[in-house]
Chains A and B, each alone.
Chain A
Amino acid sequence: MSYTAEISRKQATGFVFVIDQSGSMKDKMASGATKADFVADVLNKTLANLIIRSTKSDGVRNYFEVGVLVYGGKGVKPGFGEELSETLLQPLADVAANPLRVEERTKKVDDGAGGLVEQPIKFPVWFEPTSAGGTPVCEALRQTAASLVAWCDEHPNSYPPTVLHVTDGESTDGDPEEIGRQLQEIATSDGNVLVFNLHIDTSEGTGLMFPSDETSLPDANARRLFRMSSLLPEHLVKGAVQAGYSATHDSRFFGYKAGTEGIVDFFDIGTRASELR
């Protein structure tokens, strides 16, 4: 059975975030933040959550290796800072130790008397928002595939890596469908690489999440991204259903015209690999 390998320090899994930083990512969402800003915040929070889940009193356990690849005006490049740029996938403990900075932010918490109070929290930042130029999806996926072939060779029995690709437009360097298909053919003994795609929009809400049929999608780009997306493994069907989506075993891990809520859910559900051990 696929996607059941236990995730441990001896048998880590990987997450690769492929993020669109093209010019259109500077469009503002309903919240007032640009798409680039909002995606950067959610990605930084997702990285922090992966680290916090893996942190014990004796340090960060390397259950995961993570990488960020960005594409836009400067072509395709690593999304982390210099300390983390040697290889695409970096052990989680190294990521935890090398944020660009740790900001002080506030969050609202229950005051225990029916109200909310602001509480200071530390917010580590690894990934900066920028937005310029075109959308070289093909090259980004090609570089991702090259890294994951090597990673899967080194981790033959691990839960396979997951690629979370976020974009707001169409590829400007060709049709990415073939390289997307090749990416999904890379595998460990526990299953093929999971490729999750999210098309984002400036609207509020979730858009269309986890569709099971491409005929419900309005244009060729959406249908292409649908076909480039993996089916949800069993435990992620459960995760999506628990989050309120009507996902089934025929659903693809794809979201179309997702707004703020959809972006948050995409990262949250997409990084729920099987149970840590």
Chain B
Amino acid sequence: MLRKRFAASVPKDPAAPELNEDSLGCDESRQVFVLSDGASESFNSRLWSRILVGVGLEVRPRSPRGFCQALRHCINVYDDWCRGLVMTWAEEAAFARGSFATLLAVRAARGAGDALVLGTGDSLAVLAAGNEIVSTFPYTSAEQFAERPHLLSTRAALNRLGGIDIVEALRSLCREEPAGPIHRKWRLEGMRDARVVCVTDAVGAWLLDGESRGEPRLRRLLEIASAEELRSLVEEERRQRRMRLDDSTLLVLGWDDGPADA
């Protein structure tokens, strides 16, 4: 059984936690865990990321069509909320431009102890064995965080995910194939103390940058036991200009007794 071991978020502005645009949701009974990071340049990415997380927890599409319907449903919910607003010319134009967010979902896959990760954008999932990184998805190096991420948009026409064939990508995801452009299936057989760590981009870039230089930053994240400890680490790393100023979220998942067949 996959369990939430830790979850907390540090807003970019400590005085305004209500403006935090990261969202996360965990449903252990369904074995689904979802993280979304709303982009700063968006009309209402806080709302958009919450809708994506809510629908991501509720819906388990089993076909490409199911995924497209789920995404369309998210857009309809967002549009319905915004349509009631009286807007200035700038708000109208910003609404028309859209809201953008990442989506990172982890769920227990069909194989005992396996994990299936769906990711688009620059939120990062890390498979860890003890304090060692085994694999990361969708990025593998800190430099990749400087590229423009493929975010989910409230404007349906923009959801092309960087020109990949979305139907093929979703088909391979539904088949739970080992690897595709928007997903990874991580096999945990024989792995001791396996955990999946999900972070938004500021923490992800900091983690991969430090690890590439031999600094045990994954261990620092895994040692965090409270929201206060996460806040302290993030604020210190921001002060030292080692971590970008952004909403910063950490979600750690682990198995009850290790993966079933470990």
Contacts and interface: CB of A to CB of B under 8 A. Distances in A.
Does chain A bind chain B? yes
Given A8-B12, A277-B12, A51 B44 contact: no
Contact of B40 (A110, A122, A275): A275
A276 B41 contact: yes
Interface in A46-96: 48, 51-57, 60, 96
B12 A96 contact: no
Nearest to B94: A55
Contacts of B42: 56
Given A6-B245, A57-B82, A277-B246, A51 B90 contact: yes
A57 B90 contact: no
Specify the main secondary structure of chain A where it touches its partner: mixed
Interface residues of B, number: 23
A55 B245 CA distance: 20
Given A8-B12, A277-B12, A277-B246, A52 B82 contact: no
Interface residues on A, range: 20 to 34
Nearest to A95: B90
Nearest to B88: A96
A14 interface: no
A52 B94 contact: yes
A191 interface: no
Contacts of A110: 157
B44 A56 contact: yes
A122 B92 contact: yes
A146 interface: no
B164 interface: no
Contacts of B92: 122
Nearest to A57: B44
A124 to B, nearest CB: 6
B93 interface: yes
B219 interface: no
A54 to B, nearest CB: 8
B82 A122 contact: no
Contact of A8 (B91, B157, B245): B245
B244 interface: yes
Interface string A212-256: 000000000000000000000000000000000000000000000
